[in-house]
Structures are given as structure tokens and as C-alpha cells.
């Protein structure tokens, strides 16, 4: 793709951490350029007003979002980094205007509107939902290539599904009774100030949250079922960890038979991801968040103990868990090598 035909990208919702991170990756991307940033009336102005780090690299200001303004940028792609519900109120008009969209919210992740409505709110764009492709490139690359609407996966689902899918598909573990004990760095909790995440409350503090009701739970189950064809049920338990970024899942599952060893699971993972540029199956080394920080990698390792299979999976919640994955999807959608601009 010659420079003259760079992908023109518009970002809607650039003031959150994932949007910020997307901007940084787009700046480095050899075949894409950021041509506009749009947001709500309450958050307008130069991008380096939100993030002083961006001064001298991004001259754009976040302007008031309207579908017409976005269309006027002659963008090839819209990255939609807005809250759920808002996203599906924007998508139809953008698609009407002929724009391809990668939506980072939950609005198009759950294929079944009834499941969506149970966890979120009434779904207002069933047509979009029917056409949306779940943007996990390791499993849906073909559909992503031609998609006009991609639902960028959640960070926890990416981390958990990449570890579990091959092992479930190979029938090495039971699809029921899986425990996913997950931790996230604090950028994953967003940029809204709260007492809970006030520095002196959060520093030196580790704690669980969202017991039994985290919205990433149905997304994990749906995706695993879609990939493996099995009815999967997981107990997903997230925790807040005092660090900026990083996510790690410690997953406990029942093997299907006594003969299942860690080596079997490792071999299965290695085969599954032999050609996946951003998944690293580790042996002799357990995943750690610092091994993936600032990268688009997901590191996975398999172990076995006390009659259970244990999977560890780590990624950077803002990259493989958000912006990096979005760019990986963009690359696929526009015929580029999946890894372009992502090292």
C-alpha cells in the first residue's frame, strides 16, 4: 500500500486511555493516518489538552461528533471508543455513510440481543448486530477481512479466550466448571476519577470486584462456544491490581481424562498458534504482565497440578486488550499484514 493510499482513520472518543493508546499506535503506523477525532460536547479541544504527552505529535482537536462531520473527513475507517449504548446510537448513521467501523464498546460483541439486553440495556441496532464480526483475529480473521462492522473484543475475554479456546476445542478440558481468576492494571478501569481509584486508596491495594456479575462473563462464554461448538460455562472473577497496565488470567479447569498432561495442553496451544503472530506459548517460563507491557502479545502457558489443568494468560489491557487489537483488525480489514505497525 503506497503512502498515497494510507488508511484514513477517524477516532470517536479520544479522551479515554484506550483512545489515547490508539492514537500513539496510529502515529507509528506506516499505512494509516489519523484524520479526525470526535467526541461529546463535554470533551472537546486539542488532543494534547487531554494528554499533554501528545503535544507536537498530534495537532488534531477533538471536535463535536456528528455523522456528517465524520463522513466529511473522507475516512476509510471509524474507531469508535465510546461507552456502550452510545456506540449503537452512532453506528447506523456511520455505516449509512459508507464507513467501516471498529466498535470498541460491548454493543456488538454479544451476538444474541437477548443476552446483551440481560447484561446491558435494550439493543437499538439489531441490523448492525446481525452483521457485526467479533474482532478476535486469531479466530475470525477471514470474516474480519471483509467486515464493515467489527466488534473489538473486551480485554478480559481476549485474555481468557485465547488461552481456553484451543484446549477446549481439542477436548482436553471440561467445558463446565472453569474458573478464571483475573487481575487488571488500573488503566482498565477507565479515566473517571473515583474514591475507589484515588491514588492513596488504590496504591498498595489489591482487591476483588464484580463477583458473579462482570459483563465480560457472557462475552467469554459466547466466544468460547462459538469457537468450540460446546456449551461453555465459566466462573469469571476479576481483581484490581495496583499498577498502570497489564492483565493476567489464572485459569483452572478439569481435564477430560486422567491422562491429560501439561505437555499435551502445551502442544495443543503451540499447534493452535503456530501461525498467530501475537500469541506466544511459553514453556519454562510463566507469563508475567511485564513480558507483554507495551506490546500486542498475549503470552500463554499451561501447567497441571492436583488433577487440574492450569492456564496462565497475560496481555497489555490497553493494547492486545484494546487498541492494538483494533489496529490488528484494521490491518486485516484493509489487506495489510496483520502485524503492520504493531511492533
Closest of 34, 30, 11 to residue 81, by C-alpha:
11
User: Are 40 and 66 contacting, i.e. CB atoms less than 8 angstroms apart?
Assistant: no
Cβ atoms within 10 A of the Cβ of 210, count? 15
Q: Which residue from 36, 325, 34, 307 is spatially nearest to 173, judged by alpha carbons?
A: 307
Q: Is 59 in the site for a second copy (CB under 8 A)?
A: no
Q: Is 141 in the site for a second copy (CB under 8 A)?
A: no
Told to check if 3 binds a second copy by CB under 8 A, we report no
Choose the binding region for a second copy from 52-60, 78-86, 107-115, 321-329 (rule: CB under 8 A).
52-60
d(CA 210, CA 314): 20
CB nearer to a second copy: give 69 or 198: 198
Give the catalytic positions in this structure: 155
Which of 67, 153, 154, 287 binds a second copy (CB under 8 A)? It is 287
Return the residues of window 312-341 that contact a second copy according to CB under 8 A: 312, 314
Dihedral angle at the C-alpha atoms of 228, 233, 238, 243, nearest 10 degrees? Answer: -10
Q: Does 235 contact a second copy by CB under 8 A?
A: yes
Among 152, 237, 328, 329, binds a second copy (CB under 8 A): 237
Instruction: Give 44 or 71: the residue with its C-beta nearer to a second copy.
Output: 44
Backbone angles phi and psi of 333, in degrees to 5: -60, -25
Among 234, 265, 327, 333, binds a second copy (CB under 8 A): 234
Is residue 86 involved in binding a second copy (CB under 8 A)? no
Among 113, 239, 267, 270, binds a second copy (CB under 8 A): 239
Find where cell 469457537 sits. 227
Give me the least distance between CB of 266 and a second copy, in Å please.
13
Q: What is the rounded distance in angstroms from the CA atom of residue 332 to the CA atom of residue 8?
A: 15
Which is nearer to a second copy, 151 or 162 (by Cβ)? 162
Out of 297, 323, 326, 333, name the contact with a second copy by CB under 8 A: 297
CA 177-245-37 angle, to 5 degrees, is 110
Query: Helices 262-272 and 155-169 meet at what angle, rounded to 10?
Result: 110
Q: Is 187 in the site for a second copy (CB under 8 A)?
A: yes
Q: Determine the Cα–Cα distance for residues 143 and 241; give it in Å rounded to an integer.
A: 35
Smallest distance, Å, CB 264 to a second copy? 16
**96 vs 194 by CB, closer to a second copy:** 194
- Is 308 a binding residue for a second copy by CB under 8 A? The answer is yes
Which residues sit opposite 62 in a β-bridge? 37, 45
Q: Binder to a second copy among 86, 93, 111, 288 (CB under 8 A)?
A: 288
Amino acid at each position: 500500500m503506497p503512502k498515497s493510499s494510507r488508511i484514513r482513520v477517524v477516532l470517536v472518543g479520544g479522551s479515554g486511555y484506550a483512545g489515547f493508546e490508539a492514537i500513539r499506535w496510529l502515529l507509528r503506523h506506516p499505512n494509516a493516518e489519523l484524520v479526525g477525532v470526535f467526541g461529546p460536547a463535554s470533551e472537546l479541544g486539542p488532543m494534547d489538552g487531554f494528554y499533554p504527552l501528545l503535544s507536537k505529535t498530534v495537532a488534531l482537536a477533538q471536535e463535536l461528533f456528528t455523522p456528517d462531520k465524520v463522513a466529511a473527513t473522507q475516512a476509510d475507517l471509524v474507531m469508535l471508543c465510546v461507552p456502550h449504548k452510545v456506540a449503537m446510537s452512532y453506528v447506523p448513521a456511520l455505516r449509512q455513510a459508507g464507513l467501516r467501523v471498529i466498535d470498541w464498546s460491548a454493543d456488538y460483541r454479544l451476538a444474541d440481543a437477548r443476552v446483551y439486553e440481560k447484561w446491558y440495556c435494550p439493543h437499538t441496532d439489531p441490523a448492525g448486530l446481525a452483521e457485526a464480526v467479533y474482532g478476535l483475529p486469531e479466530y475470525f480473521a477471514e470474516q474480519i477481512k471483509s467486515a464493515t462492522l467489527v466488534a473489538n473484543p473486551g480485554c478480559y475475554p481476549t485474555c481468557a479466550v485465547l488461552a481456553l479456546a484451543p484446549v477446549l476445542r481439542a477436548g482436553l478440558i471440561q467445558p463446565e466448571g472453569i474458573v478464571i481468576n483475573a487481575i487488571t492494571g488500573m488503566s482498565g478501569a477507565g479515566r473517571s476519577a473515583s474514591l475507589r481509584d484515588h491514588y492513596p486508596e488504590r496504591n498498595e491495594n489489591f482487591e476483588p470486584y464484580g463477583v458473579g456479575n462482570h459483563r465480560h462473563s457472557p462475552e467469554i462464554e459466547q466466544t468460547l462456544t462459538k469457537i468450540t461448538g460446546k456449551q461453555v460455562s465459566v466462573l469469571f472473577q476479576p481483581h484490581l491490581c495496583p499498577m498502570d497496565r497489564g492483565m493476567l488470567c489464572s485459569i483452572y479447569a478439569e481435564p477430560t481424562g486422567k491422562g491429560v498432561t501439561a505437555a499435551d495442553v502445551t502442544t495443543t496451544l503451540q499447534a493452535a498458534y503456530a501461525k498467530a503472530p501475537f500469541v506466544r506459548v511459553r514453556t519454562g517460563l510463566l507469563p508475567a504482565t511485564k513480558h507483554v507491557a507495551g506490546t500486542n502479545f498475549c503470552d500463554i502457558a499451561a501447567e497441571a497440578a492436583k488433577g487440574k489443568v492450569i492456564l496462565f494468560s497475560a496481555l497489555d489491557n490497553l493494547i492486545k486488550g484494546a487498541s492494538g487489537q483494533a489496529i490488528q483488525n484494521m490491518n486485516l480489514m484493509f489487506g495489510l499484514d496483520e502485524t503492520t505497525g504493531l511492533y
